[in-house]
Structure 1
Amino acid sequence: QGSLTVLGQIAAEELGIATDDVHVVSADTDTTPMDTGAIASRTTYVTGNAIKLAAENAKQILFEVAAPMLDVRPDQLESVDRKIQVQYFPQRCLPIADVALQAQFVMGRPPIGSASYNPPTVAMDSETGQGKPFSTYVYATQCAEVEVDDETGQVDVIYMSAAHDCGTAINPMLVEGQIEGGISMGIGYALQEEMLFDDDGKQINPNLTNYIMPTSLDMPEIDVDIVENFDPTGPFGAKGVGEPTAVPTAAAICNAIHDAVGVRITSLPATAEKVLKAIKEKNGGEQKALPAAE
């Protein structure tokens, strides 16, 4: 869902501080722990859960330090708006910064939390073939409206509608941007982008002067519907939304081409040449079939 922002939001929400108070260190293997990669759109889900657990650990230290200062038990405290306060008695509170200083310099307990998260899965049963390779799944549907010039084969995408289940949308604006960006990539995949090679295996379109990609001028009207379906295993109910945004686009566009001119394009990209050839073959086949029908 946009890791640099969303991961900071998760930490801030759990600690009861502002997002501005959080500094996210990303992609620095000198200072960050080992991870197998930001794959399968899992950063918000997996790293977010780890951050939430780490923040809970740090918060527990703060509560244990603040409890005697407020003359209550740690389980009677909560962190809200940069303060640690007694539940139901918000006037009895201390700034988190003051409690952190007390923990660090007086108690010798730096409020540092660490955690890891490995999604629960079930290995495949060799006899039944059943298992649970992933702990959660995302779902998406996209619809496309296209205009096809049956004399040239040119395809223009004029409208896209996308509905995506991302669990809780921690930052809805970023989720919407992810979906729009995925559709942009999907349009390129469907209609334009292709790596071409000569007979010697040398790429003949190795740069952006001849590798065709969509620009803002190629983007259609996009209607985004964020389907919030709380996932109890995700951080604050969230799931990923990165890669799934580009998955349905090409299929939706090719289905729209078929609906418009009755031809099925089975290899991508669906260039004007391919579409025109398919239209001619379809029309030629129909013309040849007419005498037999009579």
Structure 2
Amino acid sequence: MKKKGKGIGCTFYGTGYGNGFPDVSRSIAQLERDGSVTVYVGATEVGQGAKTVLSQIAAEVMALPLSGIHFVCENTDETPDAGTAAASRQTYNTGNAIKRTAELLLKEMKVTAARHWGVSTPGRISMDSGKLVHPENAAATLSYREVAMIKGQELLRVEDSFTAMTTRLDDETGQGNPYWPYTFNVYGVEVEVDTDTGKVSVVKAVCAQDVGRAVNPKLIEGQMDGGFAMGLGYALMEDVNLQQGHMKHDRYSNYLIPTAMDLPDLEKIIVEAPESTAPFGAKGIGEPVMLGVAPAILNAIYDAVGVRMTEIPVTPDRLLVALKQHEGKEGI
């Protein structure tokens, strides 16, 4: 017999290292002779889209197209430390560092232009598509390339950093501010449970994810899809089968992960509530999108068959045992 059930899972997640651990990102920005900008940062790209989003942040500050930003990373000989690609911290932490560094570069470019024009108010110089505009004569402009030429052989190069706000929890009271910022989400799923075989299938799913500000909606949706797939595998399939310190399921022939055939279409809802301390309001969501999936699935299984599973993954054999035990208790 096949039974259907629905469940939700709600999560909140503190991004960054947290609990008072120093969480610092550094970056360098350099104005090239052709007017483009090179960003040097030790932010590792592991498929989450860091190179794209961080380049977009720099491009927004510099009022340049994305093609005008050269992004150099993963080279410790050239790049300053930006911390690990972990704790969903790169968009917030390193994004802030890049934003600050790009703003500093732009400030220095305006100082150079002000000296060239003989004006005393570089802060009043505006930008327009890769050009600096004279504060009193809009017809007088300097392209970024011309600013670089004014500097001559000396490349305009600046460095800045960002440190996340975090305090260690008090060991006695448990009070403190261990993380900032937090991100929030909720998953809803509908499952189909085959009580004859113990197989659980997720037939519908929806995720509403707080992102602060969606710098790149397509990348956000990709992370939501990936997080859902990973959470589903965690809940229903992935079992290392640890026995006396040895992993018995140590290859993909016995360590099962979801395929496209196991995944329903995920309805994705991006919730924008800009974070005032974040670069253009954006927060990281790399790990949060995984967390609510398993609780939602377990709640849906309970809704379908009345059995509260407390061990994951909920493999067919484990669920069948739980169903028989449940039937036995009801029989009593």
Q: TM-score, normalization: structure 1? A: 0.90
1:57-136 correspondence runs (5 A): 57-70=104-117, 72=119, 73-86=121-134, 90-105=138-153, 108=154, 110-125=155-170, 128-136=173-181
Q: Would the alpha carbon gap of residues 144 and 88 (structure 1) be closer, same or farther in structure 2, given more than 3 Å must change?
A: farther
Runs of 4+ in 1 over 3 A off after TM superposition: 68-72, 86-92, 122-129
DSSP 3-state at the match of 1:24: strand
2:221 pairs, out of 153, 176, 183, with: 176
In the other structure, the counterpart of 1:229 is: 273
Measured in 1, the distance between the counterparts of 2:135 and 2:258 equals 54
DSSP 3-state at the match of 1:206: coil
Does 2:230 align with 1:185? yes
Which consecutive residues of structure 2, in runs of 5 or more, have no partner in the other structure? 1-47
Measured in 1, the distance between the counterparts of 2:190 and 2:107 equals 53
Shift of 1:82: 1.4
DSSP 3-state at the match of 2:140: strand
Which has the larger share of strand?
A: 2
CA RMSD of aligned residues (A): 1.9
Q: In percent, how many aligned pairs have the same letter?
A: 41
Q: C-alpha offsets along residues 163-222 of structure 1, whole Å, 9 cap, x if unaligned?
A: 1111111001101111110001000000000102455x4432222222100011111120
Code of the aligned partner of 1:241: I
Does 2:205 align with 1:157? no
Q: C-alpha offsets along residues 96-155 of structure 1, whole Å, 9 cap, x if unaligned?
A: 1221222243xx4x3212111111223434564321112211111111111001111110
Shift of 1:91: 4.0
8 Å contact kept, 1:16–1:82: yes
Measured in 1, the distance between the counterparts of 2:324 and 2:170 equals 51
Q: How many residues are paired up?
A: 284
DSSP 3-state at the match of 1:138: strand
Measured in 1, the distance between the counterparts of 2:200 and 2:71 equals 43
Q: Rg bigger for which structure?
A: 1
Larger RCO (CA within 8 A; separation ≥ 6) = 2
Which has the larger share of helix?
A: 1
Measured in 2, the distance between the counterparts of 1:149 and 1:283 equals 15
In the other structure, the counterpart of 1:263 is: 307
8 Å contact kept, 1:17–1:80: no
DSSP 3-state at the match of 2:95: helix
DSSP 3-state at the match of 1:98: helix
Code of the aligned partner of 1:256: A
Code of the aligned partner of 1:50: A
Code of the aligned partner of 2:316: A
1:175-214 correspondence runs (5 A): 175-198=220-243, 201-214=245-258
DSSP 3-state at the match of 1:164: strand
8 Å contact kept, 1:85–1:92: yes
Code of the aligned partner of 2:210: D
DSSP 3-state at the match of 2:197: coil
In the other structure, the counterpart of 1:45 is: 92
Which consecutive residues of structure 1, in runs of 5 or more, have no partner in the other structure? 290-294
8 Å contact kept, 1:104–1:111: no
Q: TM-score, normalization: structure 2? A: 0.80
